[in-house]
């Protein structure tokens, strides 16, 4: 029965109850199946070709889902879920989508068996809380116990499934050095690692192993004119967000001239205004000027004469980072409260030196020894664009993971160890409950095993056998006090056996796992709550009347 027949004002079709749920679950499964095969150290890559023929080859869950044009509204929730995980943690985007889809599938089966969605939702919420508590209390290991190697291992684990997995030793050390270089203490005395201060520049040529870390923030542009000095030290940096070109009249401004000689004066005044602005900058002591807009040739000569470096068309993002690192203020107008144009030296940022260097075939401006936070740049080398782009994505994930490890200070074993431990623990919890939630928690526990299963399948190993062995180990670890050390047993996907992943160096920040479980549960609950879908149709008759 269409909704239109009930309420004459609404035109559209309505689906209710089980049909909608099944449809939503199928859509979410389809999305998860796309990214499933890219999970783990032996995960496969995806090649995405967009409507204009641009090719992206990637293994990163968030990137894959962002590039897919997902139509189904429930499946869109999973795409947003991957983006959220990417923003909050930086890695684990594939896992979060796979787990959320599995939760949904199992919840749907329960609803089919006449269990009310509300019971399932409260069961899932309880299981989520218990799981997070269990990770923090029982599975987490403090970073101090594991030493500096711990950070390198976290970075290696994050990179293992990516294109640079083969060189993960080399890149992991680069990443750890880069994150430690931007360490800063904020106003509240907390230590923070703003990884946005790490600029990643991509340059063609050489091999991936020729990538290196530069001390200083690199801008991917050269000086605006050849006559400028190659090096300025110490540097006082002005960050501008307007044109240093001949001032043009605003649109809509009319000037009536009766005497043609006055025209020349107007032209002259337009040129002088820019000259005055530049003089103000130089008088305030600026010897490096960065602007997001253009600088014309007439204006450049003043900078050349003053021996200052001017850089035009700097990316907005870059100029913000430079301003933050050097303590400069991004200026979008010279006008002050009185309507005069002024520029104060307090708006300048400071750095030890600014130099132009040549990397591969490009000139780059390096800002070294910044005042407030450390700034470093990773210069990536590689054979082609696809490879460089994928390297950048892999490094972004690894940088985020190292940052999270340093800030949260707790790690857990990887390779399916956490999921297997939680599954065993939650199953036991389910048997202690005498309410309907028992079934939901048991299914939640079962669903977590999807991660070790998919890892084993992607590695071409026997998933059923490995997961069974893994669960047996974790059951022993949780029931016998003297076997507690077995709780970090996970999969060794190269050999197809079970090993202690803490000792093997396959580790992840505990925060990443906690967030994955929280986000996946929330997403599954959001979709599970839906039991009615009304698609509205445009009313054609109204258009005709107009």
Asked if residue 391 lies in contact with residue 203, where contact means CB atoms within 8 angstroms, the answer is no
Contacting residues for 216 by C-beta, under 8 A, at least 6 apart: 366, 367, 368, 369, 370, 375, 376, 377
CB burial of residue 545 (10 Å; 0-12, 13-18, 19+): exposed
94 catalytic residue (yes or no): yes
Distance between CA atoms of residues 54 and 207, nearest Å: 23
DSSP codes of every residue in 56-70: EEE--HHHHHHHS--
150: closest CA among 178, 176, 177, 171? 176
Distance between CA atoms of residues 311 and 522, nearest Å: 47
Asked if residue 58 lies in contact with residue 48, where contact means CB atoms within 8 angstroms, the answer is yes
Which H or E element spans position 533?
strand 532-536
Distance between CA atoms of residues 90 and 401, nearest Å: 7
Identified catalytic residue from 45, 56, 60, 492: 60
397 catalytic residue (yes or no): yes
Distance between CA atoms of residues 299 and 282, nearest Å: 12
362 catalytic residue (yes or no): no
Distance between CA atoms of residues 339 and 341, nearest Å: 7
Asked if residue 110 lies in contact with residue 439, where contact means CB atoms within 8 angstroms, the answer is yes
Asked if residue 344 lies in contact with residue 284, where contact means CB atoms within 8 angstroms, the answer is yes
Helix, strand and coil in the chain, % to nearest 5: 55, 20, 30
Distance between CA atoms of residues 417 and 519, nearest Å: 19
352 catalytic residue (yes or no): no
Identified catalytic residue from 45, 86, 91, 397: 397
28: closest CA among 96, 128, 111? 96
Asked if residue 351 lies in contact with residue 335, where contact means CB atoms within 8 angstroms, the answer is no
And the tokens for 428? Answer: 């036991």
Tell me the residue length of the chain.
546
Distance between CA atoms of residues 444 and 467, nearest Å: 16
Distance between CA atoms of residues 29 and 78, nearest Å: 10
Distance between CA atoms of residues 424 and 472, nearest Å: 9
Identified catalytic residue from 94, 274, 405, 410: 94
Q: What's the angle, vertex CA 200, arms to CA 197 and CA 203, rounded to 5?
A: 155
Q: Which residue in this structure is represented by tokens 């799981």?
A: 131
Identified catalytic residue from 56, 58, 63, 93: 93
Rg for the chain (alpha carbons), in Å? 29
Q: Point out the residues that are catalytic.
A: 60, 93-94, 397
């Amino acid at each position: 029965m269409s909704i239109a027949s009930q309420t004459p004002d609404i035109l559209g079709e309505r689906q209710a109850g089980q049909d909608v749920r099944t449809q939503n679950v199928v859509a979410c499964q389809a999305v998860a199946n796309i990214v499933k095969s890219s999970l783990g150290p032996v995960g496969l890559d995806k090649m995405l070709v967009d409507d204009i023929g641009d090719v992206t080859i990637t293994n990163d869950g968030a990137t894959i889902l962002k590039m897919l044009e997902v139509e189904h509204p429930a499946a869109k929730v999973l795409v947003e879920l991957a983006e959220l995980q990417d923003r909050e943690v930086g890695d684990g985007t594939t896992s979060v989508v796979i787990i959320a889809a599995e939760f949904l599938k199992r919840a749907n089966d329960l609803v089919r068996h006449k269990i009310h969605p509300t019971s399932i939702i409260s069961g899932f919420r309880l299981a989520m809380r218990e799981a997070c508590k269990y990770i923090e209390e029982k599975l987490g290991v403090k970073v101090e116990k594991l030493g500096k190697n711990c950070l390198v291992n976290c970075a290696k684990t994050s990179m293992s499934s990516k294109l640079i997995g083969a060189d993960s030793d080399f890149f992991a050390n680069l990443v750890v050095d880069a994150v430690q270089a931007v360490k800063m203490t904020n106003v509240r005395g907390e230590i923070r690692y703003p990884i946005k201060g790490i600029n990643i520049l991509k340059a063609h040529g050489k091999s991936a192993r020729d990538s290196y870390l530069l001390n200083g923030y690199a801008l991917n542009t050269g000086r605006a004119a050849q006559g400028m000095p190659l090096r300025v030290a110490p540097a006082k940096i002005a960050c501008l967000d307007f044109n240093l070109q001949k001032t043009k009249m605003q649109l809509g401004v009319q000037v009536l001239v009766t005497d043609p000689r006055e025209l020349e004066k107007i032209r002259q005044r337009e040129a002088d205004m820019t000259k005055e602005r530049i003089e103000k900058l130089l008088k305030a002591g600026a010897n490096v000027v960065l602007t997001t807009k253009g600088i014309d040739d007439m204006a450049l000569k003043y900078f050349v004469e003053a021996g200052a470096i001017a850089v035009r068309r700097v990316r907005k993002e870059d100029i913000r980072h430079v301003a933050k690192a050097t303590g400069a203020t991004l200026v979008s107008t010279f006008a002050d409260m009185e309507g005069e144009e002024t520029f104060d030296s307090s708006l300048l940022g400071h750095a030890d030196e600014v130099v132009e260097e040549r990397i591969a075939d490009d000139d780059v401006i390096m800002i070294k020894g910044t005042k407030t936070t450390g700034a470093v740049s990773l210069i990536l080398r590689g054979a082609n664009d696809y490879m460089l782009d994928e390297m950048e994505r892999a490094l972004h994930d690894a940088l985020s993971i190292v940052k999270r490890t340093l800030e949260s200070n707790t790690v857990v074993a990887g390779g399916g160890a956490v999921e297997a431990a939680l599954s065993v623990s939650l199953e036991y919890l389910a048997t202690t409950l005498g309410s309907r939630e028992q079934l939901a928690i048991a299914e939640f526990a079962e669903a977590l095993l999807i991660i070790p299963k998919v890892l084993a399948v992607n590695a071409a190993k026997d998933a059923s056998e490995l997961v069974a062995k893994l669960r047996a180990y974790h059951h022993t670890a949780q029931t016998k006090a003297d076997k507690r050390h077995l709780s970090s047993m996970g999969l060794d996907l190269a050999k197809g056996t079970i090993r202690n992943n803490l000792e093997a160096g396959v580790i992840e920040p505990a925060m990443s796992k906690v967030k994955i479980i929280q986000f996946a549960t929330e997403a599954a609950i959001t979709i599970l709550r839906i039991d009615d879908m009304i698609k509205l149709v445009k009313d054609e008759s109204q258009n005709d009347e107009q």
